[in-house]
Amino acid sequence: MHPIDRAAAVMIRRGPKRLRIFPGGWGEARHIEMLADVDALASDPPELNISWGPTKHLADRTVRDGHFAALTDLPAPARTAAIRLVEPPGGTARLCLLMAAWNDHGYNTRQQLADELVHRGIGSLILEIPYYGHRRVVLADEQPVQTVADFARMGLGAVSEGRALLNHFRHEYEMGVSGYSMGGNIGALVGAAAGYPVAIAPLAASHSPGPVFLDGVISNGIQWDALGGKAHRPRLRESLGAASVLRLPAPDWTRAAVMVAARRDGFVPSQAVAALHRHWPGSELRWRPGGHATLLWRQRRVLADAISDSFDRLANNQNA
């Protein structure tokens, strides 16, 4: 494990209450069951009615913010989804949906990756997912995802909105989807369930939340007393593990997927990354030195290259 990831484990264990995980316990069982509802990914996503703000013309890009009504059952503060569209000044044929990582509020972190993509001629669509940023349900100094049920509602909402966004823009652009850590897992689910070819680049991503929350450093923050004690660990693993890309068939376009992972990642177990790679025959897995944090902070160009290459591999496969 990388030293910075090891330090993060200590911070998660001893840090402020906003780092506590599932402090509100399980929540309603009917929402937790959503994690296992693979059939929900088989239906066609609904049409979106996006309200756009003015376009900002900057030196090396254009930026436009928009919003639309949420597609799933969510608490009132989370019912309006927000997106940001970033493109090169002259427009682009390629657009990548960037999904949010755990505790990734607003646009700033993914905006840095979007900056790299703009220089490669690729636009970015950044979605603020339920329970995060302006879609928070609790105060800013509290953990935004209070219960396991909240996690399920967040995940279902993010996947549903991601699929609808891909579908909305697919007639204007060559579409791709990516994300870091949790965003990579959600992006993999969205891409595999798209129903048509999309470029997919899961970055530092597990096949499901289960190994991350129970085998990585995040496990240091789980409030086991709120969940009924550590005896309920198998139940939590089963619940979170149900949201697995491995439960979806590998469509043909996943052969073009490009994954990136850190060899000393303390958050995402290497076995969980390798399992996704094996499930998508023909996909490429690029191992990089460092840990979870340093891969994101210091190797952003490597991550952008993976997204760009996934578009190229998809195009080559379709032309073969």
Per-residue pLDDT for 10 more than 80? Answer: yes
More confident site: 43 or 216: 216
Nearest to 153 by CA among 71, 252, 220: 71
Q: Which amino acid does the sequence have at 148?
A: V
- Tell me the torsion sign for CA atoms 174, 180, 182, 188: positive
Give the predicted TM-score (pTM) of the model.
0.95
Asked if the structure places residue 237 within a domain, the reply is yes
- The H or E element spanning position 62 is strand 62-69
**Confidence at residue 183, expressed as pLDDT on a 0 to 100 scale:** 97
pLDDT band for position 292 (cuts 50, 70, 90): very high
**Confidence at residue 14, expressed as pLDDT on a 0 to 100 scale:** 82
Average pLDDT of span 212-240: 96
Per-residue pLDDT for 101 more than 70? Answer: yes
pLDDT tens profile 134-181: 999 998 889 999 999 999 999 999 999 999 999 999 999 999 999 999
Average pLDDT of span 251-269: 97
Q: What residues make up the domain containing 196?
A: 3-34+45-319
**Confidence at residue 36, expressed as pLDDT on a 0 to 100 scale:** 84
Let me know: does 185 contact 288? Beta carbons within 8 Å.
Answer: no
Residue environment code for 120-134, b if the CB has 16+ CB neighbours within 10 A, otherwise e: bebbbbbbbbbbbbe
Which residues, including other chains, have CB under 8 Å from residue 5's CB and lie 6 or more apart? 217, 264, 265, 266, 267, 291, 292, 293
Quote the CA–CA distance of 88 and 106 in Å, as a whole number.
Answer: 21
Asked if the structure places residue 191 within a domain, the reply is yes
pLDDT tens profile 237-246: 999 999 999 9
**Confidence at residue 41, expressed as pLDDT on a 0 to 100 scale:** 78
Q: Which amino acid does the sequence have at 140?
A: A
Could you count the other beta carbons within 10 Å of the beta carbon of residue 198? 26
Average pLDDT of span 33-50: 85
**Confidence at residue 276, expressed as pLDDT on a 0 to 100 scale:** 98
Q: Are strands 94-99 and 122-128 parallel, antiparallel or unpaired?
A: parallel
Per-residue pLDDT for 104 more than 80? Answer: yes
Asked if the structure places residue 40 within a domain, the reply is no
- Count of structural domains, the chain: 1
Asked if the structure places residue 173 within a domain, the reply is yes
pLDDT band for position 320 (cuts 50, 70, 90): low
Per-residue pLDDT for 225 more than 90? Answer: yes
Least confident interval from 40-54, 62-76, 97-111, 250-264? 40-54
Asked if the structure places residue 143 within a domain, the reply is yes
Nearest to 237 by CA among 252, 215, 253, 220: 215
Residue 238, SS3? helix
Asked if the structure places residue 53 within a domain, the reply is yes
Q: Give me the half-sphere count of Cα atoms (radius 13 Å) on the Cβ side of residue 16.
A: 5
CATH of the domain at 209: 3.40.50.1820
Q: Which residue has the tokens 């657009």?
A: 95
How far is C-alpha 144 from the geometric centre of its chain's CA atoms?
16
Asked if the structure places residue 150 within a domain, the reply is yes
φ, ψ at 273 (rounded to 5°): -70, -45
What average pLDDT is seen over the chain?
A: 94
Let me know: does 193 contact 155? Beta carbons within 8 Å.
Answer: no
Quote the CA–CA distance of 180 and 27 in Å, as a whole number.
Answer: 27
Asked if the structure places residue 39 within a domain, the reply is no
